[in-house]
Amino acid sequence: MATVTGTFELIGDPEIDLLELVEHDSAWSHDYEAHRACLAAALGERAGRIEHIGSTAVPGLAAKPIVDVLVTVDDPDDDAAFLPYLQAAGYALRIVEPGHRMLRPDDRRAHVHLYRHDDPAVVALTTFRDHLRVNASDRAAYAEAKRVLIAEGWASMDDYAQAKSPIVADILARAGVALAR
């Protein structure tokens, strides 16, 4: 089943079951490395950057136990150029929107985001991660905002992610970047 929500198409039903915050787990970096190796092998030269992003990439930050991975490609809208390789490696397409694809493995413990090499979202995602790694006050403010929001109850993970947008935009502004997407 596909659901069109706003400007993206969600493949499958909205989910809420993995929407929990847990304390940082050092195993997330190992999980990322396993996904990085798998994605690099599956995509070969089709992949540009492969980076660990999101809260699981920030030591000391509570997060959903889902590792976010950024992969840059020439054209994320050209599904034929990468989708068969990722599906063969065990990743299923979850979100389709112009200039962005999100895939995940069967266990749903990773989100693989594909963007064009020069997409402003790449700068925003990596800057956000890097800023939170070094700025303790913004890291604490973000953690608190996530704890408050997660307690509110959401119809889907996407709704929760949208609710975080104002604090993410504020932190990015302090880091000198405008929120992408």
User: What is the per-residue pLDDT across 168-177, written as a single tens digit (0 to 9) for each?
Assistant: 999 999 998 8
Between CA 139 and CA 78, with CA 163 as vertex, the angle to 5 degrees is 95
Residues 6+ apart with CB under 8 A from 128: 53, 168, 171, 172, 175, 177
pLDDT, tens digit, 9 for 90 and up, residues 37-56? 999 999 999 999 999 999 99
Q: What is the mean pLDDT of residues 150-161?
A: 83
pLDDT of 136 strictly over 50: yes
Strand partners, 22: 63
* pLDDT, tens digit (0-9, with 9 covering 90-100), for 3-12: 334 577 777 7
Q: What is the DSSP string of the chain?
A: -EEEETTEEEES----TT---B---THHHHHHHHHHHHHHHHHGGG---EEEESGGGSTT--B-S-EEEEEEES-TT-HHHHHHHHHHTTEEEEEEETTEEEEEETT--EEEEEEETT-HHHHHHHHHHHHHHH-HHHHHHHHHHHHHHHTT--SSHHHHHHHTHHHHHHHHHHTT-PPP-
- What pLDDT is attached to residue 179? 57
Count other C-beta atoms under 10 Å from residue 113's C-beta.
21
pLDDT at position 26 is 95
Per-residue pLDDT band for 145 (boundaries 50, 70, 90) equals very high
Report how far residue 21's alpha carbon sits from residue 81's, in angstroms, rounded to the nearest whole number: 35
pLDDT tens figures, 60-111 = 999 999 999 999 999 999 999 999 999 999 999 999 999 999 999 999 999 9
pTM to 2 decimal places? 0.89
Q: Say what the pLDDT of residue 18 is.
A: 65
- At residue 1 the predicted structure's pLDDT band, cuts being 50, 70 and 90, is very low
